[in-house]
Structure 1
Amino acid sequence: MNDIIPKPKQIRLTEGRASYAGGFMIRRDDSVAFDLTAAVATLFPHRPGRRLDCILAFSIDPTLGPEAYRLTIAERKIEIVAATRRGAHYALFTLRQLSDPRTGTIPCGVIEDEPDLPLRGFMMDVSRDKIPSMETVKRFIDAMAFVKMNHFELYVEGFSYGYPSFPDVWKDETPFSPEEYEELDAYCEAREIDFVPNMNGFGHMSAWLARPEFKHLAEAEDGFVAWGFPFPASTLNPLDPNSFELVKKLYGDMLPRCKSAYVNINGDEPFELGQGKAKAECERRGKEAVYVAFIAKLCAEARRYGKTPMMWGDVLVNHPEALGSLPRDVVFIDWGYDRDYPFETHASAIAETGVRFCAAPGTSSWNSFAGRRVDMLKTTENAAAAMKKHHGLGLIQTDWGDFGHLQYLPFSWPGMLHAAGCAWGEAPSETAVIRHIDRHLAPEGKGRLGRCILDLSTYSGLEKDYVYNGTTAFKSIMFVDPSLERDLTMKKAILTGALAGSAYGSEAAKDVFALCEFVSKAASEAPESLVRDEIIQTCDWIVVGVAVNLALTDPARAEKAGQLACSMLDDMLPEHERLWRARNREGGLVRSLTRATILKNIMAIPPQR
């Protein structure tokens, strides 16, 4: 019973078990306007030849909350009482998790349940090279619905959406089509999930600004320098009317395809703002004022489509005086992905302004290969606690794909499950998460893969140094120069310099190698499956990341470690292609492997003696 995700608020077990092996006789009161017969048939397939021996009765209680339900299970009759279709649907998911499919039975008892937070969401990055297939997205939506999440976004920047107004920009890509968005919208609606359109239209515009016809719209056409590295132009010039006209066309192509009352306009990380064409205006009025003025225009445009705008909070979260100047209907999203991120402090300050807000922790799967378990747990739990204390709307668990989106989907599952539990009520136990993965997400692993996924996500804790929003092992990929301007010798020098202050150390390397060997062996003992192979490949990614670090920071191990990394990458690159194609579209695959391919060639250069 404690393994249900999310855990129900009140559970009272009684003697006996109800049997559904022959299916259910479904009865609905006259007050019940919805029909969940199809959902029942999917969740509880009957066994041919068995008689219908259990009644499943639906009735309405308008005094319950919009997502609440009451479930009474007796041997011959199961009663579901709710105020809405959504509440009744959630009762079915609880019933399914309670059930034993081997015997076709469910323990008797009474459950009363409703969520703590009204918004329980997930945002999937589909713009950092990896664009999933429709089947992959639908299966993920099913997994969300099963744990009562109700908000879903596909993060879009660049050309991962096929804008009808700009067919030339994505003709060589494999984006989601507008028709596919409509299909996903209907699929989500049937599962009580709000499919919220998401599109960046201020910062993160690098793909657009790299094209000659849009380059003039950049705030700084020559790009910018951050963290000591050069980056291409990524931010629109907010003073150029044509910047707004571009975003208007993009909104017109996407927003009508989703029935949601919301849209995430993003607005995060306009890195160059105030460094280029808008510098004088930012100095005169203040950068925050220039930023808010452009955001206000985007919000007004979103309202033309009947959408309430949501936006990331990084630019304004530390400027409460500017928060008050935002349009009053905006939903402000405070995001943070490291264990010490101050969700509580920010929530308290934002609540004082009267702005509606929610929090966005993360799966921590990106920049890490396998996730950073402690950071995922802490950010999710702290965000949920802050939202409950300060009356925020809820959580949106983010899952990004920086630097090639090299992590595989199963390493996002623990973060999704943890967010579902925390937003509904309380954090699920590690045992519950493992059991859920093994039973519902990777049953082909015969109970062997859930533990492997969680164990591997702890490797960052074995590293010598804590890394914000990443791991030391992943730096070996992150800091590879992907440009065409420099030769391999120079690229090796750049990577060596970038890793100079992050030497892995022999003891940490030994511990991480041992963990990867243990997990790889445990996974290999499971039946052959895609998830099993993704876990084994992830172990190899981590080993390569550590080996590259040793090769470039430890002269005594340089030759042997470099040879290991080069040899492993020879096998891993084609394996990554195979695993990619199993869940994702072809577009972006070559870009995803750019850094890894260059890294293999760097490691083939003999070390200097």
Structure 2
Amino acid sequence: MTSNYFKTTRPLGVLENIEKGIDEEGYRIQISRDRIEISASSAKGFFYGKMTLEGIANKTTARALESGLKLLENEIVLAEGEINDYPSLKLRGVMLDISRTKVPTQKQLYEIVDLISSLKLNHLELYMEHTFAYVGHELVWENSDPLTVSELAALDSYCKERFVDLVCNQNSFGHMERWLIHPKYRDLGIEKDLVVSPFGMLRPPTTIDPTNERSIQLISDIMDQITDAIPSKMVNIGFDEPFELNSSRAFEWNDWLTKVTELSSFKDKDIIVWGDMLAGHKKLIEKLPDGVIVAEWGYEANSPFGERDRFLVEHQVPFINSPGTSSWLSIVGKTNNSLENTREATRNAIDHGGLGILTTDWGDFGHLQWWPISLPGIVAAGAFGWTGMRGVESFQYSDLIEGLSSVISTDPMKDDLNAASAICRIGEIHSMVPCQFPNLATIVLHLYFPQLPVGFGLTTGLTTEHLDLIRNELGEIKDLVSKVVDPLMKEELSATCSLVELIVDDASSRLLGNGHLASVSQPERDLFADRCSDIISLHQSIWKSRNRIGGLEESLAWLYNLQSGYISGQPDKAWAGPLKLL
């Protein structure tokens, strides 16, 4: 042990010094043999300072033990020194999709708050379409295990204790299909019948009609209820992807936004809307209501945050940049993409005076990915949001693995590098094939849509050689997974590997035929169906560890559809998901 290291005992005797000149969330830690002092200007600063001190104590003590130093039960090791720290961005947030099948248990929500708080993130949005128990609208949520008023109140209190702002995120224009599938609400849609999705398949309508007087009555009602349940000063009202609002009616986006923002629910609220309509129809910004905050989203490493941020700055519109975890529609994640996406979102938020970053974690098409796959993107958000340009310029892939290993470890004195390495490496499998598309991992397209061919069309250029490389990588990843300490995480990562192995073997067999599932022999398809049955059983058992039962059957429907294709050899050509008009 070098001269500036010393032994001390828990609990640490920490002096607190209020110093008004320090940033509201910042702190100064001074450590010496005879005195440990944290200076801050607010309770937030002291909270983050103590968190940092605890992390330092764990790290230095672990290294001392690794070097062979003997310590008594309550003894720890610290190093003399001083730390001055504060966040680069005021808003550092995460948005979790709790509408696409997975509604976390209350216990899981508390654990998520603990995680994001430990990363010094201070803003949590729960994305809702229908998963709050709205009074008078039981028809919409009755099978989803929604959050209740009392549960949200308890969660809000839990967040406040950890200086996390719990923020409502309820869509109010597009993505309203959970309502419009019901006859009671059908007339509120711009379209009343099935529509063609961006993937070219028929699906229920998603966009409410802004000219229908009953539309504003519905939104007023549900917004009154959810803003009462989540009393944050901020609220996200969505307004993204109103797919059925054609270009000739784009101006109605402004009209509807003005009408919604004038609701009494939003008095004295800071309203957030997604930025895609403004990016696609630039004239809409001329009538944007004053004070509306735009969440500029883009989920690729090369998303044009700079161009879009400059446009917002020119029109004096406050904004947040929203990167993503890249977990959805991938099964495995896209680790490096998420890292670079978050880096660029942060860089441009700082360069152009943004309020902060909001990392999104979506659950499209059954939310089939497991929770560990989302973690690299969330850890990156914490690192970049706090350190700002320091992190943007210096934070690397190896730092991501180290940071991830620390936050997922079951022992604060021991990082789980095996789990972190497995998660990050499996998140690079998507890049081992030549055909790449935004917002998804091409290698699993035929999981979601078994009717699609493999080797041509969207997967042109894919060969069995690519798939062999993935198998080899999966073998090494499975060795890492076998050493993961946390039993649930080990199970989740093992299930991820099993599903990807099935999809890779499926693709290989198709490539030996004509690319379609019908060209695979019946005996092979029977084996695939049996493996799929095992994966379905795993999905059912793992699900309950973090999520409420509501939504499970809808999630499983994607796997049952795949299994049905294996059994028959003739996948449903019209399959676009299990959601149907009722």
Tell me the TM-score normalised to structure 1 length.
Answer: 0.85
Query: 2:556 aligned to 589, 593, 601, which one?
Result: 593
Q: Does 1:538 pair with 2:505?
A: no
What is the alpha-carbon distance in structure 1 between the residues aligned to residue 208 and residue 101 of structure 2? 21
**Offset at residue 261 of structure 1 (A):** 0.6
What is the alpha-carbon distance in structure 2 between the residues aligned to residue 538 and residue 115 of structure 1? 35
Q: Does 1:432 pair with 2:396?
A: no
Name the counterpart of 2:11. Answer: 23
What one-letter code is carried by the residue in structure 1 that aligns with 2:37?
E
Name the counterpart of 2:459. Answer: 502
Give CA-to-partner distance per residue, 1:23-42, whole Å, 9 cap, x none: 13xxxxxxxxxxxxxxxxxx
SS in 1 for 2:136: coil
What is the alpha-carbon distance in structure 2 between the residues aligned to residue 385 and residue 312 of structure 1? 19
CA contact (8 A) 2:408 2:416 kept: no
What one-letter code is carried by the residue in structure 1 that aligns with 2:405?
D
1:297-376 matched pairs, under 5 angstroms: 297-301=259-263, 304-376=266-338
What is the alpha-carbon distance in structure 2 between the residues aligned to residue 19 and residue 162 of structure 1? 53
**Offset at residue 553 of structure 1 (A):** 4.2
Q: 1:190 to 1:211 in 2, by over 3 A?
A: same
Give CA-to-partner distance per residue, 1:283-326, whole Å, 9 cap, x none: 4xxx3321111011111226544321100011112434321311
**Offset at residue 466 of structure 1 (A):** 1.1
Give CA-to-partner distance per residue, 1:316-362, whole Å, 9 cap, x none: 12434321311111000110111221111111111111000011000
What is the alpha-carbon distance in structure 2 between the residues aligned to residue 189 and residue 555 of structure 1? 58
1:113-192 matched pairs, under 5 angstroms: 113-157=85-129, 159-192=130-163
What is the alpha-carbon distance in structure 2 between the residues aligned to residue 67 and residue 531 of structure 1? 32
1:120-519 matched pairs, under 5 angstroms: 120-157=92-129, 159-225=130-196, 226-274=198-246, 283=248, 287-301=249-263, 304-425=266-387, 426-427=391-392, 428-443=395-410, 446-480=416-450, 494-496=451-453, 500-503=457-460, 504-519=462-477
Q: What count of residue pairs does the alignment treat as equivalent? A: 541
Give CA-to-partner distance per residue, 1:532-585, whole Å, 9 cap, x none: 111111111212222333344430893376455323212111011111111110
Stretch deviating more after TM superposition (295-304 or 232-241): 295-304
**Offset at residue 530 of structure 1 (A):** 0.5
What is the alpha-carbon distance in structure 2 between the residues aligned to residue 168 and residue 290 of structure 1? 29
SS in 1 for 2:125: strand
**Offset at residue 165 of structure 1 (A):** 2.8
Stretch deviating more after TM superposition (259-268 or 223-232): 223-232
1:501-580 matched pairs, under 5 angstroms: 501-503=458-460, 504-527=462-485, 529-555=487-513, 558-559=520-521, 562-580=525-543
What is the alpha-carbon distance in structure 1 between the residues aligned to residue 14 and residue 490 of structure 2? 38
CA contact (8 A) 1:414 1:433 kept: yes
Q: 1:429 to 1:378 in 2, by over 3 A?
A: closer
CA contact (8 A) 1:403 1:592 kept: yes
What one-letter code is carried by the residue in structure 2 that aligns with 1:359?
N
Give CA-to-partner distance per residue, 1:104-149, whole Å, 9 cap, x none: 2222210111111111000000010011101111111111111110
What one-letter code is carried by the residue in structure 2 that aligns with 1:592?
S
Q: 1:465 to 1:596 in 2, by over 3 A?
A: same
Stretch deviating more after TM superposition (375-384 or 14-23): 14-23
Q: 1:16 to 1:564 in 2, by over 3 A?
A: farther
**Offset at residue 18 of structure 1 (A):** 5.4
Name the counterpart of 1:63. Answer: 21
What is the alpha-carbon distance in structure 1 between the residues aligned to residue 53 and residue 222 of structure 2? 43
What is the alpha-carbon distance in structure 2 between the residues aligned to residue 196 and residue 388 of structure 1? 23
CA contact (8 A) 1:302 1:309 kept: no
What one-letter code is carried by the residue in structure 2 that aligns with 1:262?
M
What is the alpha-carbon distance in structure 1 between the residues aligned to residue 446 and residue 94 of structure 2? 29
CA contact (8 A) 1:255 1:305 kept: no
CA contact (8 A) 1:548 1:603 kept: no
What is the alpha-carbon distance in structure 2 between the residues aligned to residue 107 and residue 155 of structure 1? 43
CA contact (8 A) 1:374 1:458 kept: yes
CA contact (8 A) 2:435 2:458 kept: no
What is the alpha-carbon distance in structure 1 between the residues aligned to residue 486 and residue 285 of structure 2? 53
What one-letter code is carried by the residue in structure 1 that aligns with 2:567?
A
Q: 1:501 to 1:332 in 2, by over 3 A?
A: closer
For structure 1, which runs of at least 5 residues remain unmatched after alignment?
Answer: 1-13, 25-54, 275-281, 481-493
**Offset at residue 219 of structure 1 (A):** 0.2
SS in 2 for 1:71: strand
What is the alpha-carbon distance in structure 2 between the residues aligned to residue 168 and residue 453 of structure 1? 39
Stretch deviating more after TM superposition (226-235 or 362-371): 226-235
What is the alpha-carbon distance in structure 2 between the residues aligned to residue 195 and residue 86 of structure 1? 16
What is the alpha-carbon distance in structure 1 between the residues aligned to residue 543 and residue 369 of structure 2? 10
Q: 1:464 to 1:384 in 2, by over 3 A?
A: same
SS in 1 for 2:263: helix
Query: 1:82 aligned to 17, 36, 40, which one?
Result: 40
Stretch deviating more after TM superposition (177-186 or 554-563): 554-563
CA contact (8 A) 2:446 2:454 kept: no
**Offset at residue 435 of structure 1 (A):** 3.0
What is the alpha-carbon distance in structure 2 between the residues aligned to residue 263 and residue 590 of structure 1? 30
What one-letter code is carried by the residue in structure 2 that aligns with 1:216?
D
What one-letter code is carried by the residue in structure 1 that aligns with 2:558?
R
